Chains A and B, each alone.
Chain A
Amino acid sequence: MNGILPLQLEDVSYAAGGRKIIDRVSLALEAGSSTIILGANGAGKSVLMRLMHGLLAPSAGRVVWNTVGARRRQAMVFQRPVMLRRSALANVAYALEAAGVAPASRERLAREALAEVGLLAAAARPARVLSGGEQQRLALARAWALHPEVLFLDEPTASLDPGATREIENIIRAFDAAGTKIVMSTHSLGQARRLGDEVIYLHQGRVAERAPIERFFPLPATAEAAAFVKGELPWA
Chain B
Amino acid sequence: MLEALSTGLRLVATLDLRLWEIVGLSLAVSLSAVALATLLGLPLGAALAVGRFPGRQALIVVLNALMGLPPVVVGLAIYLLLSRAGPLGELGLLFTPGAMVLAQTVLVLPIIAALARQAVEDAWLEYEEQLRSLGVDGLRGALTVLWDIRFSLLTVVLAGLGRASAEVGAVMIVGGNIDGVTRVMTTAIALETSKGDLPLALGLGMVLIAIVLALNAGAHLIRDAAARRYG
In contact, A126 and B230 (Cβ under 8 angstroms): yes
In contact, B230 and A98 (Cβ under 8 angstroms): no
In contact, A128 and B130 (Cβ under 8 angstroms): no
Q: How many residues of A contact B (CB 8 A)?
A: 22
Q: Is A55 an interface residue (CB 8 A)?
A: yes
Contacts of B55 in A (CB 8 A): none
In contact, B134 and A128 (Cβ under 8 angstroms): no
In the bound complex, CA of A82 to CA of B149 (Å): 13
Closest B residue to A86 by CB, please name it. B230
Given known contacts A95-B134, A98-B136, A99-B135, is B229 in contact with A126 (CB within 8 Å)?
yes
Q: Is A207 an interface residue (CB 8 A)?
A: no
In contact, B135 and A129 (Cβ under 8 angstroms): no
* Contact bitstring A60-94, B, C-beta under 8 A = 1, else 0: 00000000000110011010011011100000001
Q: Is A53 an interface residue (CB 8 A)?
A: yes
Interface centre among B129, B130, B136, B230 (most CB of A within 10 A): B130
Q: Is B56 an interface residue (CB 8 A)?
A: no
Contacts of B129 in A (CB 8 A): 50, 55, 78, 82
Interface of chain A residues 90 through 138 with chain B (CB within 8 A): 94-95, 98-99, 126-129
Interface size class of B (residues with CB under 8 A): 10 to 19
Contacts of A94 in B (CB 8 A): 134, 144
* Contact bitstring B155-176, A, C-beta under 8 A = 1, else 0: 0000000000000000000000
In the bound complex, CA of A85 to CA of B223 (Å): 13
Contacts of B135 in A (CB 8 A): 71-72, 98-99
Contacts of B127 in A (CB 8 A): 82
In contact, A78 and B230 (Cβ under 8 angstroms): no
In the bound complex, CA of A78 to CA of B133 (Å): 10
In the bound complex, CA of A85 to CA of B136 (Å): 16
In contact, B134 and A99 (Cβ under 8 angstroms): yes
Within 8 Å by CB of A55, from B132, B148, B229, lies B132
Contacts of A55 in B (CB 8 A): 129, 132-133
Q: Is B3 an interface residue (CB 8 A)?
A: no
Within 8 Å by CB of B133, from A53, A127, A129, lies A53
In contact, A128 and B133 (Cβ under 8 angstroms): no
In contact, A128 and B231 (Cβ under 8 angstroms): yes
Contacts of B132 in A (CB 8 A): 55
Q: What is the distance, in angstroms, from A106's C-beta to the closest C-beta of chain B?
A: 14
Interface centre among B126, B129, B149, B229 (most CB of A within 10 A): B129
Q: What is the distance, in angstroms, from B33's C-beta to the closest C-beta of chain A?
A: 28
In the bound complex, CA of A193 to CA of B218 (Å): 55
Q: What is the distance, in angstroms, from A150's C-beta to the closest C-beta of chain B?
A: 12
In contact, A126 and B231 (Cβ under 8 angstroms): yes
Contacts of A128 in B (CB 8 A): 230-231
In the bound complex, CA of A71 to CA of B131 (Å): 13
Q: What is the distance, in angstroms, from A51's C-beta to the closest C-beta of chain B?
A: 13
Interface of chain B residues 2 through 34 with chain A (CB within 8 A): none
**Which B residues have a C-beta under 8 Å from some C-beta of A?**
126-127, 129-136, 140, 144, 148-149, 229-231
Can you list 21 contacts pairing A with B, beta carbon distance less than 8 Å? A55-B132, A55-B133, A72-B135, A75-B133, A78-B129, A81-B130, A82-B127, A82-B131, A84-B148, A85-B231, A86-B148, A94-B134, A94-B144, A95-B134, A98-B134, A98-B135, A99-B134, A126-B229, A126-B230, A128-B231, A129-B230
**Which A residues have a C-beta under 8 Å from some C-beta of B?**
50, 53, 55, 71-72, 75-76, 78, 81-82, 84-86, 94-95, 98-99, 126-129, 142
* Further 14 A-B residue pairs, CB within 8 A, beyond A84-B148, A85-B148, A126-B230: A50-B129, A55-B129, A75-B133, A78-B129, A82-B126, A82-B129, A82-B130, A94-B144, A98-B135, A99-B135, A126-B229, A126-B231, A127-B231, A142-B134
Identify the 3 closest CB pairs spanning chains A and B, nearest first. Answer: A128-B231, A82-B130, A85-B230
